[in-house]
């Protein structure tokens, strides 16, 4: 049983989508820990209701990224975490944590990377930029986390037709439906298949 930590800063609907697939037995894993930087995150309420261990670790409480990373690493070690899922986590992951989880940490991004990614491109900022650009297709990307924003090797992408969407909010809602399908799928693949990375390409074996 793979032990997973989810990092979430907000309402946590992606966290819940993964949790549900684990509960139904579709993913053979355990969410052993929820970490949030935000004491008011909805994700924390869900964890409390479902008796999932949780920690609030705020970067502002540490003097450096290194010390913030050390605090995260000690919680991850305490719960024997093998895999990290960033599900709407809005803080930069410190380099020492990235190094400790090579190809064992994934993020969901609500656009087709490398378009509409990078610093400041999260949540509604992404959907507003997509809307303003007038593109007809957006989508989701699940990628490994490296030391920059949204640049790690891509595991899965799914396109979403947004040609009929009349607002960024409508795009967000359409894309979120796909996030809830594809983030759990990526977790399942990581737990069940042999995954290798050649340069930027992610390959799934048996």
Distances (CA, A) of 168 to 51, 110, 124, 165, 178: 35, 12, 7, 8, 16
- Residue with the CB atom nearest ligand GRF in the bound state: 88
Q: Which of 103, 109, 143, 194 is catalytic?
A: 109
Which of the stretches 51-59, 69-77, 107-115, 156-164 binds ligand GRF when contact is defined by CB under 6 A? 107-115
* Site for ligand GRF, residues 7 to 66, rule: CB under 6 A: 8, 10-14
**Residue number, 88 or 94, with CB nearest to ligand GRF:** 88
C-beta atoms surrounding 187 within 10 Å: 27
**For residue 191, what is the enclosing H or E element?**
helix 168-192
CB of residue 67 to ligand GRF, shortest distance in Å? 25
**Residue number, 10 or 152, with CB nearest to ligand GRF:** 10
Cα-to-chain-centroid distance, residue 3:
16
> Angle CA(120)–CA(61)–CA(35) in degrees, nearest 5?
65
CB of residue 41 to ligand GRF, shortest distance in Å? 8
* Whole-angstrom distance, CA of residue 98 vs CA of residue 76: 12
**What is the phi/psi pair of residue 204, to 5°?**
-105, 125
Asked about 180 being catalytic, the answer comes back as: no
**For residues 37, 38, 43 and 44, what is the CA-based torsion angle, rounded to 10 degrees?**
90
By the 8 A CB rule, do 162 and 126 touch?
Answer: no
* Site for ligand GRF, residues 164 to 193, rule: CB under 6 A: 176, 179
Give how many residues touch ligand GRF by CB under 6 A: 15
Which of the stretches 25-33, 47-55, 105-113, 162-170 binds ligand GRF when contact is defined by CB under 6 A? 105-113
Q: Is 117 in the site for ligand GRF (CB under 6 A)?
A: no
Catalytic center residues: 109
Q: Which residues bind ligand GRF (CB under 6 A)?
A: 8, 10-14, 87-88, 108-110, 122-123, 176, 179
């Amino acid at each position: 049983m793979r032990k997973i930590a989810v990092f979430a800063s907000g309402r946590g609907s992606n966290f819940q989508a993964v949790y549900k697939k684990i509960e139904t037995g579709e993913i053979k894993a355990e969410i052993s820990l929820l970490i949030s930087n935000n004491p008011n995150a909805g994700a924390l309420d869900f964890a409390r209701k479902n008796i999932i261990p949780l920690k609030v670790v705020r970067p502002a409480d540490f003097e450096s990224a290194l010390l913030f990373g050390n605090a995260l690493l000690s919680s991850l070690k305490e719960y024997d975490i093998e895999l990290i899922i960033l599900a709407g986590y809005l803080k930069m992951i410190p380099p020492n944590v990235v190094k400790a989880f090579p190809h064992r940490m994934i993020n969901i991004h609500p656009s087709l990377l490398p378009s509409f990614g990078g610093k400041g491109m999260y949540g509604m900022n992404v959907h507003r930029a997509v809307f303003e650009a007038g593109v007809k297709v957006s989508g989701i990307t699940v990628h490994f986390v490296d030391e920059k924003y949204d640049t790690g090797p891509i595991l899965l992408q799914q396109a979403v037709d947004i040609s009929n969407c009349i607002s960024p909010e409508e795009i967000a809602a359409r894309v979120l439906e796909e996030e809830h399908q594809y983030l759990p799928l990526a977790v399942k693949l990581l737990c069940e298949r042999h995954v290798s990375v050649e340069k930027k390409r992610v390959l799934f074996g048996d």
